[in-house]
Amino acid sequence: MGEYLVKKETRSNLQKIELSEKFSQFSDSNISDSDARSRTRLPAELLILNRYGVGYPYLKVAWKLSQKLQIPPFEVLIKANVISLETWLDSQSYLADERERINSRKLQETLLLNQAISNLSDTLPHYSAKETFTSWQIVFVGLCICSITALLYVNYQYMIFALFMLLTLFYMASIFLRGLLLASFKPTKPPTGDILVRNDDELPIYSVLVALYKEANQIETLTQSLWQLDWPKHKLDIKLICEADDYETITAILDAKLPSCFELVQVPPSSPRTKPKALNYALPLCRGAYLVLYDAEDQPSCG
């Protein structure tokens, strides 16, 4: 029995030596990093090992040998003494955590995007312009068109008179509506007197939202103006909002190496591509008690 175990262990060691020699032969083929990445698409389970110091050429060799010998690629790396079993298990645990983090981020982006697009129409549909015309408005417009067309065949003078009266009614209704709005407007007086604050920690946080699209040339001027705001920097929450596929503007923001009070918010591409949707996407991410909106062309006052 002891002789059988010795022979089995010897055979296993010989297989490891043979596998190591094959690995060395493959590795000595002078494969560059660029060749290894361009010719073979490796699975994420192997690519994560690059974080642990295993080069791309070695990963490619392990992948080729695993396909040739019909064994898992991590077994090739372990038997060739490139990595240990502990390193493999640690890398797979890290990969699982990264995948969970990415999935969580994607879920959060989806929820924020759905809320930005349809929250108003779901909660307060009568304030939303998602439905351009209501049913009765469509019926009314259709009846007007049919009536004008019928009058055109009967007597075109009647048609002109009816069209004139309809446009006059619409114009007078617009004036009446504006009058009601002006009559209901009650201006509020700003508080007078000095606001006594003992220290900066008692000041509220201001969230500043700036929606940007194709505005790479405005980033330097805009960020300098925002940085000069007369407010404690740790009490500023400045969010620069960009479409995720606006690579030029995003690159300009990243290259500027802005302080920690600045944050880049990337809105996933979706319709409608409007400024309100971008602002709604970033709104739940704000941490300030007050909110300020700026455009890319604005130059905020320092005071």
Task: Quick: pLDDT tens for 2-34.
Answer: 443 333 343 444 344 455 555 555 544 444 444
CA distances from 235 to 61, 180, 195, 240, 243 (A): 53, 40, 17, 16, 26
CA distances from 25 to 11, 14, 50, 54, 185 (A): 21, 16, 21, 17, 84
39 vs 237 pLDDT, higher one: 237
For the chain, the farthest-separated pair of C-alpha atoms sits apart, in whole angstroms, at 117
Q: Write out the two tokens for 253.
A: 């923001």
pLDDT of 40: 59
The Cα–Cα gap between 288 and 237 comes to 7
- Quick check: helix, strand or coil at residue 147? helix
Specify the range with the lowest mean pLDDT, choosing from 75-79, 112-116, 283-287, 298-302.
Answer: 298-302
Q: Write out the two tokens for 95.
A: 């990969």
Percent of the chain with pLDDT over 70: 83
Does the pLDDT at position 117 exceed 90? Answer: no
CATH no. of 200-294: 3.90.550.10
Kindly report, residue by residue over 124-163, the tens digit of the pLDDT.
887 777 777 778 888 888 887 888 788 777 777 777 887 8
- Return the DSSP state at 75: H
Kindly report, residue by residue over 198-207, the tens digit of the pLDDT.
677 788 999 9
The Cα–Cα gap between 42 and 11 comes to 31
Residues 6+ apart with CB under 8 A from 134: none
The Cα–Cα gap between 52 and 82 comes to 11
H runs (alpha helix) in the chain: 2-27, 33-39, 44-47, 56-69, 73-79, 85-123, 135-154, 156-184, 219-227, 247-255, 275-282
Give the mean pLDDT of the chain: 80
- Quick check: helix, strand or coil at residue 294? strand
pLDDT band at 266 (very low <50, low <70, confident <90, very high): very high
Domain ranges of the chain: 2-83, 135-184, 200-294
pTM: 0.62
Q: Write out the two tokens for 41.
A: 């698409």
- Burial class (CB within 10 angstroms; exposed 0-12, middle 13-18, buried 19+) of 268: middle
Average pLDDT over residues 172-197: 77
Q: Where does residue 90 fall: left (phi above 0), alpha (psi -120 to 50 degrees), or beta otherwise?
A: alpha
CA atoms within 13 A on the CB side of 269: 4
Amino acid at 249: T
Contact 268, 252 (CB under 8 A): no
The Cα–Cα gap between 50 and 77 comes to 13
